[in-house]
């Protein structure tokens, strides 16, 4: 459906792109971490691309990836990247959709924030940080959004057990510390 988007991308950004693919009606492009901001800016601003609508930002943790019905070589091993951050974009004018995916290693899960390009990703990147521990460089306000501040760990990671309990935290002050400092 958006094959021409993939073609344009591979033509212009050949060394920023790891691979492209198409699955179940979606076009997907895997981009190198360092080139993400440049490629994303071009995707938004180039008139033929015009990806003005952000759809979602999330992350996939491949730690337990052991697909059945596939060759054993596709199972995740320690040498493969652990996280993939996915950004889904849409163009209102041209009617096409694209998913931009960036693979990140376990020991250094950081990439540039796209919140400056599309404000919707502000909160969605906060959510990805909260749930997976991905750090977004350049994000204006990277703090937890769903979980409380004292929460330890990143709940949606595969090695965070579902049944794990954390102590109940009691706050006696009304206003959270960072906010207090700011408006003074």
Partner 1 sequence: MSDQVTLTIDGHQVSVPKGTNVLEAAKLVGIDISAFCYHPGLPVVAQCRQCLVSVEKNPKLQPSCQQTCGEGMVVHTTDAQSTLARKQQLEFTLVNHPIDCPICDKAGECTLQKLYFDHDNANSRVDTPKVHKAKVVDLGPHIVLDQERCILCSRCIRVCDEVAGQHQLEFAHRGDHELLTTAPGEQLDNAYSLNTVDVCPVGALTAKDYRFTMRAWELDATPSVCTGCSTGCNIEIHHKNGRAWRLIPRHNADVNKYWMCDEGRFTYHDLRVERLASATVDGLPAGWDRAIAQAAKRLGVFLKDPAQIGVVLSAVHNNEDNFALARLAREWKVGHVFVAGKPPVPARADGRLKTADVNPNTAGVKAIAEALGLSTRPAYELEGTLGSLRALVTLGDVLPGAPTGKLKELELISISAHERGAVPHAKVALPSAAWAECAGTITNAKGMVQRQHAAFAPPGQAIAGWEAVVRLAHATGVKLPWVHARDVFKEMIGQVPAWKDLTWPREARPLALRFAGSRG
Partner 2 sequence: MPDQSTLKQLVLGRKDVQDLSDEEHALPPDLMTVNMGPSHPAMHGTVRIVLTVDGEKIVKGDVQPGYLHRCFEKESEHATYTQVFPYTDRLNYVSPMINNCGWAMAVEKVLGIYGKVPKRAEYIRVIVSEMSRMTDHLTCIGASAMELGAFTAFLYFLKAREWLYELLETVSGARLTHSYVRVGGVSKDLPAGFDASLTNCLERIDGVIAEVEGLLNNNKIFYDRMSGIGAMTKADAIASGCVGPIARACGVDYDVRRDYPYSVYPELEFDVPVGTSGDCLDRYLVRVEELKQCIRILRQCLKQIPAGPIMIDDHRVALPPKTDAYNTIESMIRHFKHIMDGIRVPAGEAYAFVEGGNGELGFFIVADGTGRPYKAYCRSPSFVHLSTSEQLIKGHLIADVVPIFGMINMIGGECDK
* Contacts with partner 1, residue ranges (CB under 8 A): 64, 68-72, 74, 78, 158-159, 161
Rounded CA gap, 145 and 51, in Å?
Answer: 26
The interface partner of residue 159, options being partner 1, partner 2, none and the CB cut-off 5 to 8 Å by kind, is: partner 1
Nearer to partner 1, 79 or 159 (CB): 159
Q: Are 155 and 147 in contact (CB under 8 A)?
A: yes
Nearer to partner 1, 68 or 183 (CB): 68
88 phi/psi in degrees, rounded to 5: -105, 130
Q: Which of 134, 9, 131, 139 is nearest to 84 (CA)?
A: 134
Q: Are 81 and 18 in contact (CB under 8 A)?
A: no
Per CB under 8 A, contacts with partner 2 among 113-142 are 118-120, 122-124, 127, 131
Nearer to partner 2, 135 or 144 (CB): 144
Taking CB under 8 A as the rule, does residue 46 contact partner 2?
A: no
What percent of the residues of the chain are helix, what percent strand, and what percent coil, each to the nearest 5?
A: 25, 25, 50
Rg (the chain; Cα; Å): 19
Site residues for partner 2 per CB under 8 A? 23-26, 52-56, 58, 60-61, 64-70, 74, 86, 88, 92, 95, 99, 118-120, 122-124, 127, 131, 145-148, 155-156, 162, 174-176, 179-180, 183
């Amino acid at each position: 459906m958006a094959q021409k988007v993939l073609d344009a991308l591979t033509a212009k950004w050949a060394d920023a792109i790891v691979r492209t693919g198409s699955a179940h009606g979606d076009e997907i492009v895997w981009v190198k971490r360092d080139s993400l901001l440049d490629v994303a800016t071009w995707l938004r601003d180039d008139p033929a691309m015009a990806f003005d609508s952000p759809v979602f930002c999330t992350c996939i943790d491949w730690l337990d990836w052991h697909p059945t019905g596939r060759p054993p070589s596709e199972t995740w091993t320690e040498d493969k990247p652990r996280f993939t951050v996915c950004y889904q974009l849409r163009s209102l004018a041209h009617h096409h959709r694209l998913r931009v995916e960036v693979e990140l290693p376990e020991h250094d899960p950081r990439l540039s924030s796209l919140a400056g390009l599309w404000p919707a990703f502000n909160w969605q990147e906060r959510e990805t940080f909260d749930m997976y521990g991905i750090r977004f460089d350049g994000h204006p306000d990277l703090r937890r959004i769903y979980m409380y501040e004292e929460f330890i760990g990143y709940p949606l990671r595969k090695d965070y057990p579902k049944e794990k309990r954390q102590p109940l935290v009691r706050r006696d002050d009304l206003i959270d510390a960072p906010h207090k400092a700011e408006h003074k």
